[in-house]
Chain A
């Protein structure tokens, strides 16, 4: 049972344009969400997070939006740069649980073309 879903395996955008990566979740107990970026042969790098008490969080070129009623979040990258080309993972956590387990989606491969 996939509790965190990234339905787009890949996304291609032009340099300078906006990249929008989407993530859906089914577990209503999730209340903390994170985005990670992963280059080949490296571990995931933390990008940005959002708590369920907010609907938007911004950090430089990266903005995460959370729609709790739709159980949907998205990551916006503006403007996109070729160095942003990587696999992006959405992850979620239940803060009311007994541990710090993160549940990940399968990832979306973003390619930013020069």
Chain B
């Protein structure tokens, strides 16, 4: 079975540009979350979507936005890129219902490495 797939794997942008990252969840998973991982740190939560609705947002500026499509795939958009946005962006999916008390692990893709010049 295919795991979480992310595209592209690597991306180089310059300051001020905009970027769109894509994620396809594991088949049957309806929840998608996005995380940012900078060097030497653990992943940091950006967004969580379930059934095309935003269910959670981390401490990130409004330059970060996301959406989820009817097929449960998702896009993360970042506008007005800054040098500090250089990081590994991870997408995770999980087999979850509406109730967040359901404890199911999140499964991660291999990420998109974004470099800002």
CB within 8 Å of B: which residues of A?
4, 32, 34, 36, 41-46, 49, 51, 89, 91, 93, 95-107
Contacts and interface: CB of A to CB of B under 8 A. Distances in A.
Nearest to A43: B108
Interface in B38-76: 40-45, 48, 50, 55-56, 58
B45 A102 contact: yes
A89 B105 CA distance: 13
B58 A101 contact: yes
A93 B103 contact: yes
Interface of B: 4, 6, 31, 33, 35, 40-45, 48, 50, 55-56, 58, 90, 92, 94, 96, 100-101, 103, 105-111
B90 A44 contact: yes
Contacts, number: 73
A32 B105 CA distance: 10
B44 A100 contact: no
A99 B90 contact: no
A49 B105 contact: yes
B101 A96 contact: yes
Nearest to A31: B103
A44 B111 CA distance: 9
Given A44-B108, A98-B55, A89 B42 contact: yes
A100 B43 contact: no
A102 B48 CA distance: 10
A97 B107 CA distance: 20
